[in-house]
Amino acid sequence: MSSSILVINCGSSSLKFALIDTVTQHTSLTGLAEKLGLADAQITFKYQGGKAVQTLAAGTHAAAMHAILGQLQELGLFDSVRAIGHRVVHGGERFKASTRIDDEVIAAIEDCARLAPLHNPANLLGIHTALESFPGLPQVAVFDTAFHQSMPERAYLYAVPMALYREHGVRRYGFHGTSYRFVSGEAARMLGKPLEDTAFVCAHLGNGASAAAILGGQGMDTTMGLTPLEGLVMGTRSGDIDPGLFGYLAGALKLDVNGVTELLNKQSGLLGLSELSSDCRELEDAAQAGNPSAILALEVFSYRLAKQIAALTVALGRLDAVLFTGGIGENSSYLRERVIKLLGFLGLQLDADANQRCIRGQAGCITTDGSVPALVINTNEELMIALDTAALVEQAR
């Protein structure tokens, strides 16, 4: 019986994909189409340890989807594909869970595009091209925001006029939800507890970074807001700032709103602080070599993260474990050490050897016996999307 799900993560100039067998949880074919819209667009396929690159003459998302279809047919994998699961960034308040895609769902995702103008249109392009290339297959949308829809009002409301919430959807939504769902499930398994009985603060630290308070598997609060700019220090994003900075910078630098937004999204964070790089690994190398700007940038990052983790415990009332995931969370023993040391008062105590061991795909506990555990967990958003898609398709049979 066919049991594979094709997972699509479509961006404005890229399209990532993975073919996942939801019974064995094995990923067979993966790949990435890049530079879509440009003359040198190309698509890379990885299969059984091998790699193949094709140029995409038309350079469009449709051409990329067509190449994926062709590759699936060539490798004899097409008949195993049961459905397609799409990552969709913003589901607003409309989507509290993953859903089968139909015309009404497409219209609702279009409506949410006003909240995520950079992401949702690209996600929709992926959906439309997949519907054209794979007309017979069921398609499912999995939303980054859905997990956080369980947040209570006190966590998601900004203290601005309520009319802005009612009329413009101004509230905190949160992102990285698919990762939080996967990682909290894994953490409960690692601790041998039912998910319903757990209270976690999870930090998803990649180029974009956020943290979330998760009680019994439900999102209670998170650091990202209306947009992914709020919260932690990130690769190139400032995270929390005084909103007064907008007016101040507009005056001081003669910038319009777009100019300030660009500065806070693209030139800030680790890059802005270090004046070296947005990449955590490069900064760590520089810090180990004694570079003061790199040390300072990582110091601000760790302090702000520790401060937010402590703040998020207020949403839980207790703390069963701190979870680290994402490229930085899964690899940076340097930052984890600094964060855990700042959280000693919450009962966390670092196991330095375990912390050094948990890198490059090695999951585990990095605190001592008797400490509140801190766990390193490898996220797998693609698998989560595939499992949701398979479950929804199964339900409909």
Instruction: List residues binding ligand ADP (CB under 6 A).
Output: 206-208, 235, 279-281, 284, 326-328, 331-332, 359
- In contact, 303 and 339? CB cutoff 8 Å: no
Q: Which of 21, 40, 103, 144 is catalytic?
A: 144
**Least distance to ligand ADP, CB of residue 334, Å:** 7
What is the residue whose two structure tokens read 């859905």?
A: 146
Establish how many alpha carbons lie within 13 A of residue 335's alpha carbon, considering only the half-sphere containing its beta carbon. 36
Q: Which is nearer to ligand ADP, 172 or 176 (CB)?
A: 176
Q: Which of 301, 304, 309 is nearest to 269 (CA)?
A: 301
What is the residue whose two structure tokens read 């919260």?
A: 231
Q: Which is nearer to ligand ADP, 287 or 390 (CB)?
A: 287
**Least distance to ligand ADP, CB of residue 206, Å:** 2
d(CA 174, CA 316): 17
Q: Which is nearer to ligand ADP, 88 or 328 (CB)?
A: 328
- In contact, 214 and 207? CB cutoff 8 Å: no
Q: Which is nearer to ligand ADP, 54 or 207 (CB)?
A: 207
Q: Which is nearer to ligand ADP, 138 or 239 (CB)?
A: 239
Instruction: Read off the amino acid at residue 83.
Output: A
**Least distance to ligand ADP, CB of residue 331, Å:** 3
What is the residue whose two structure tokens read 């050490």?
A: 337
- The alpha carbons of the chain give a radius of gyration, in whole angstroms, of 21
d(CA 109, CA 117): 11
| Residue closest to ligand ADP when measured from CB atoms | 327
- In contact, 265 and 229? CB cutoff 8 Å: yes
**Least distance to ligand ADP, CB of residue 119, Å:** 13
**Least distance to ligand ADP, CB of residue 19, Å:** 20
Active site residue 279: no
Q: Which is nearer to ligand ADP, 172 or 204 (CB)?
A: 204
Q: Is 90 exposed, middle or buried (0-12, 13-18, 19+ CB in 10 A)?
A: buried
d(CA 222, CA 375): 19
**Least distance to ligand ADP, CB of residue 247, Å:** 30
DSSP 148: G
Tell me the torsion sign for CA atoms 161, 162, 166, 170. positive
Instruction: Read off the amino acid at residue 12.
Output: S
d(CA 380, CA 382): 5
Q: Which of 35, 6, 13, 37 is nearest to 119 (CA)?
A: 13
Q: Which residues are catalytic?
A: 144
